[in-house]
Amino acid sequence: MTEFDAKRRQWLKVSAATAGTAAVARQMTGEAQAAPRDVPAPFATPVYVNVQLRVNGADHQLLRLDSRTTLLDALRERLHLTGSKKGCDQGQCGACTVIVDGRRVTSCLTLAVMQEGHEITTIEGLGTPRNLHPMQAAFVKHDGYQCGFCTPGQICSAVAMLDEMKAGMPSHVTADLTKHAVASAAEFRERMSGNLCRCGAYSNIQEAIAEVAGAKR
């Protein structure tokens, strides 16, 4: 065996040993990474709670409600109040808007358990077919809807929006923050910008809101 052959054999032995060590290390690392998959993720097991919600003036006891249930799903699936619609389910379209303690809330972004003890009003609680809320009547009069999917959220939002203006809450377009905002098309458009209408009935919606607000068209 020449000196070259001896060095070559030694180099092959070292390379083989190094490769084997790396393979074992990769296998152990892979097992370590795979191990957590057998461990349940946090909150994977539902936690059931009893929740009492006050909706449209009546108390409702929801038994064994998954604590992760949104207010929207609780209203639709447990209380069968299907007026509030699930559009984007991300709080971007406003179709699920309800009124909580007088303020507009996108019900798909809040948990039902968070609303215990609060006064919740849905489109069903604003008026009835025989006794419409003024905003509902104005939407009918001015054709403020087409497919009607966004209409419950639009109406709830409009009602609470006008109350916000009466309370002196400014918007991005309010010129003088020391005074109550003046009812105007610009104010209505800005304040209602979180409620989308795929049918494009915005001008009719604006007319309905303006009539209820007593604003000049």
User: How many Å is the Cα radius of gyration of the chain?
Assistant: 30
Per CATH, 33-126 and 130-217 having the same topology is answered no
β-pair partners for 52:
61
Q: Which residue has the tokens 């419950």?
A: 152
Query: Residue 4: its pLDDT value, please?
Result: 57
Burial class (CB in 10 A: 0-12, 13-18, 19+), 104: buried
Nearest to 68 by CA among 114, 106, 101, 120: 114
Q: What is the pLDDT of residues 160-200, one digit of tens each?
A: 999 999 999 999 999 888 888 889 999 999 999 999 999 99
User: What class does CATH assign to 33-126?
Assistant: alpha beta
What predicted TM-score, i.e. pTM, was given to this entire model?
A: 0.78
The domain 130-217 belongs to what CATH superfamily? [2Fe-2S]-binding domain (1.10.150.120)
**pLDDT-flagged residues of the chain (< 50):** 24, 31-32, 35
**Residue 126 Ramachandran class (φ > 0 left, ψ -120 to 50 alpha, else beta):** alpha
pLDDT in tens, 53-72: 999 999 999 999 999 999 99
Q: Where are the domains of the chain?
A: 33-126, 130-217
